[in-house]
Amino acid sequence: MRFTFMTLFPQLIEGYFQDSILKRAVERELFSYDFCNPRDFSTSRHKKVDDTAAGGGAGMLMNPQPLFDALDTFKDAHIVFTTPVAKPFVQNDAKRLAKKEHIVFVSGRYEGIDERVIEQYADEVFSIGDYVLTGGELASLVMSDAVARNVQGVLGNSESLDVESFETSLLEAPSFTKPANFKNLSTPSEYLKGNHSKIAALKNALSIAKTKYFRPGQLLQYKTRA
């Protein structure tokens, strides 16, 4: 698996892969990442990558030429654009994209990207939520992180993927670690007794309660399927 981040600001992304689980996964060659800066493809004298919006309006847009030329170098890759207006990126998208060989995440800046670029090159377009960020780098990082942890071998214990929230319509049950009693706050006693079927039943009940509280719509899906 290879990620290419198409961005005017690669340094905003680079640090994220230089620690912890994702760093180790890169070292073990489970995935790789690189950068492509559209500015390097600009044919204008001053390496310009933005221009005013046709028809007026505030702010600048990323102009098509550098992006067209940059994207032309990735003929076989799966091209993903970031934009606040698209459908939200969800766990199923992360799992599906983890099977691709090469994904290019395109980060917009300024007031966004000339629409012709998206129309011409997008295999998929995603938002990471209903708010507007200053650029697509965080969105690209969010998606690539979620994709990477679904790549075989990236998480030490792949079982942890199966029981996570969004794998089924129920959210993951609350988790506790040691000590069993901390500042008079205790772990549910059933968790400590070692009876696996009782622990599983309690976790299921707690998952239902948590889903009802945080995601009532999702609980409805669970009930419809059951």
By the criterion CB under 6 A, which residues form the site for ligand SAM? 82-85, 107-109, 111-113, 127-129, 131-136, 139
Smallest separation (angstroms) from ligand SAM to the CB of 96: 18
The amino acid at residue 93 is D
d(CA 183, CA 222): 36
Alpha-carbon 15 to chain mean position: 16
Smallest separation (angstroms) from ligand SAM to the CB of 150: 20
d(CA 184, CA 182): 5
Smallest separation (angstroms) from ligand SAM to the CB of 65: 17
Position closest to ligand SAM via CB: 108
138 or 155: whose CB is closer to ligand SAM?
138
Q: What is the DSSP string of the chain?
A: -EEEEE-S-THHHHGGGSSHHHHHHHHTTS-EEEEE-GGGG--STT---EEEPTT--SSEEE-HHHHHHHHTT-TTSEEEEE-TTSPBP-HHHHHHHTT-SEEEEEPP-TT-B-HHHHHHH-SEEEBSSSS--S-SHHHHHHHHHHHHTTSTTSSS-THHHHTSTTSSSSPPPP---S-SEETTEE--HHHHH--HHHHHHHHHHHHHHHHHHH-HHHHHHHHHH-
113 or 154: whose CB is closer to ligand SAM?
113
33 or 191: whose CB is closer to ligand SAM?
33
Smallest separation (angstroms) from ligand SAM to the CB of 14: 18
129 or 179: whose CB is closer to ligand SAM?
129
23 or 116: whose CB is closer to ligand SAM?
116
Smallest separation (angstroms) from ligand SAM to the CB of 125: 9
Smallest separation (angstroms) from ligand SAM to the CB of 164: 22
30 or 125: whose CB is closer to ligand SAM?
125
